[in-house]
């Protein structure tokens, strides 16, 4: 299996989704009938978390695209490639967990799982590259 290809594909799709979500946030801030109230509350509570989801969704999408590309082209151990790829995909639970928390009232456990998974994946990849001759 070509580890990294799925990361790139899903990363691009998630990036497009969170870009569209960003357009919704722009609408709410600039064009909606309640824009004054939205702006007034944009630094606290759910408005702030909505912006966090947008930023982290795009960040993790770009990480999956870039690191997925590197997984495809750099020669590191296959087992490491596999798990780094999986952990990078699990990292999407962070921004998706924030949205689920806002929309569905889901507990923040998915946010934590995604955040921890992303940190482990990036650190592991760095260690693998450092060990490479």
| Token representation of residue 46 | 């759910």
* Alpha-helical regions (H) of the chain: 5-30, 35-40, 45-73, 78-90, 93-104, 109-131
Percent of the chain with pLDDT over 70: 100
Q: Note down the domain range covering 80.
A: 5-131
CA 44, 92, 130, 73 torsion-angle sign = negative
What average pLDDT does the structure give for the chain? 93
- Find tokens 């060990």 and name the residue: 131
Please give the pLDDT value at position 62: 98
Q: Which residues contact 16 (CB under 8 A, 6 or more apart)?
A: none
Number of domains in the chain: 1
What confidence tens digit (pLDDT) does each residue in 67-83 have? 999 999 999 999 999 99
What is the number of H-type helices and E-type strands within the chain?
6, 0
Residues in CB range of 78: below 8 A, 6 or more apart:
3
């Amino acid at each position: 299996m070509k580890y990294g290809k799925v990361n790139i594909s899903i990363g691009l799709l998630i990036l497009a989704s969170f870009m569209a979500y960003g357009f919704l946030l722009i609408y709410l801030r600039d064009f909606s009938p309640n824009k004054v109230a939205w702006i007034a509350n944009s630094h606290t509570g759910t408005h702030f978390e909505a912006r966090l989801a947008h930023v982290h969704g795009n960040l993790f999408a770009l990480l999956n695209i870039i690191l997925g590309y590197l997984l495809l082209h750099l020669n590191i151990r296959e087992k490491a490639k596999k798990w780094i790829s999986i952990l990078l995909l699990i990292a999407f639970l962070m921004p998706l967990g924030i949205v689920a928390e806002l929309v569905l009232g889901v507990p923040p456990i998915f946010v934590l799982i995604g955040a921890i998974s992303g940190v482990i994946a990036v650190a592991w990849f760095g260690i693998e590259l450092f060990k490479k001759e």
